[in-house]
Amino acid sequence: MNLLFAIDDNFVQQLETVLLSIHLNTKSQEFNIYVLQKNRLTKEAELAAFCKHLKMAYHPVMVKQSLFENAPVTDRYPTTIYYRLLAHQMLPQDLHKILYLDADILCINDLSPLYSTALGNNLFASAIHASLTNTTDVINKIRLQNFGADGYYNSGVLLMNLDLMRQEVDADQIFDYIRRHILLLPDQDVLNALYSERIKTIPDQLYNFDTRNGKIYETISLGEWDLDWVIKNTVILHYCGREKPWLPTKNSGRLTALYKQYFHMTAKLQSSLQN
């Protein structure tokens, strides 16, 4: 299982928390952890030792700055917005599939069925968040001019068909689109505008559950997707938004305590490895 992340030094413990949650809840197999980074992580030795303890192979991937020589780069559009979209140009050529995950997720059930999803002629597999209203969906289709899309895909969990991406995802096309449009969420907007019709839809209640909107999930499922159902069935919890569960805030979301427990276990494990 090839997993891809893009972090800096501020998110090492969050990444370790993701990895521990995957280790504890996914069937034992070979894990290859690829971490895109603009500057080499100062905590790289710590992260590598943590991966080794979990029997995961750590592969740092230094971002090729030459890829962005023709890219529109500003404070609003830093080079980091391109990492997911151009990952196929930075990863080893012998990789055929990889699962990108944001560092603010938690895996609470087996990740294998998602990774095994057949992509066919699709470039990606991704989820549309149930929290988006019909009105928001229409606005996004008008804004991005992608009227054939099923909805607005979230790029925080993205299964990538690397072979097909190498053939069809063109950096210059992405750069040109960004130059010609004002975007709200740059990389996610580009993903939806250019590739939405080549994305296989996966159920967000299983693979990209927006933890801010538990009540919405319950409502649209007529009460089926309650907390007990989520704990038993959901694979990926996504802690979207500004109130991250690792921050010392009064975040009282129903699934915040679960994240804090994993975060605490990660800190204890890391401390034991350093002693």
pTM above 0.95, yes or no: no
Structure tokens at 161: 């068909």
Q: What is the gyration radius of the CA atoms in the chain, in angstroms?
A: 18
Q: Buried b / exposed e across 90-128, counting CB within 10 Å, b at 16+?
A: bbeeebebbbbbbbbbbbbbebeebbeeebeebbbbbbb
What is the rounded distance in angstroms from the CA atom of residue 217 to the CA atom of residue 195? 26
Does position 135 have pLDDT exceeding 50, yes or no?
Answer: no
pLDDT band at 147 (very low <50, low <70, confident <90, very high): very low
Q: Is pLDDT larger for residue 100 or for residue 178? A: 100
Portion of the chain with pLDDT greater than 70, in percent: 91
3 state SS of 19:
helix
DSSP H helices, 145-255, are 162-168, 171-180, 186-195, 204-207, 214-220, 227-233
Residue range(s) defining the domain that contains residue 225: 2-274
pLDDT tens, position by position, 27-66: 989 999 999 999 999 999 999 999 999 999 999 999 988 8
Note the pLDDT of residue 137: 56
Taking Cα atoms as reference points, which of 217, 220, 238, 244 lies closest to residue 228? 217
Calculated CA dihedral for residues 273, 237, 95, 71, nearest 10 degrees: -100
Determine how many CB atoms are found less than 10 A away from the CB of residue 84.
22
Note the pLDDT of residue 40: 95
Residues 100 and 87: beta-carbon distance below 8 Å: yes
Q: Is pLDDT larger for residue 129 or for residue 267? A: 267
Identify the residue whose tokens are 């995961």: 56
What is the rounded distance in angstroms from the CA atom of residue 149 to the CA atom of residue 159? 18
What is the rounded distance in angstroms from the CA atom of residue 239 to the CA atom of residue 258? 11
| Number of separate domains in the chain | 1
pLDDT band at 252 (very low <50, low <70, confident <90, very high): low
Does position 109 have pLDDT exceeding 70, yes or no?
Answer: yes
pLDDT band at 140 (very low <50, low <70, confident <90, very high): low
Note the pLDDT of residue 75: 75
Structure tokens at 57: 């192979």
Portion of the chain with pLDDT greater than 90, in percent: 74
Note the pLDDT of residue 265: 98
- The CATH number linked to 13 is 3.90.550.10
Residues 38 and 8: beta-carbon distance below 8 Å: yes
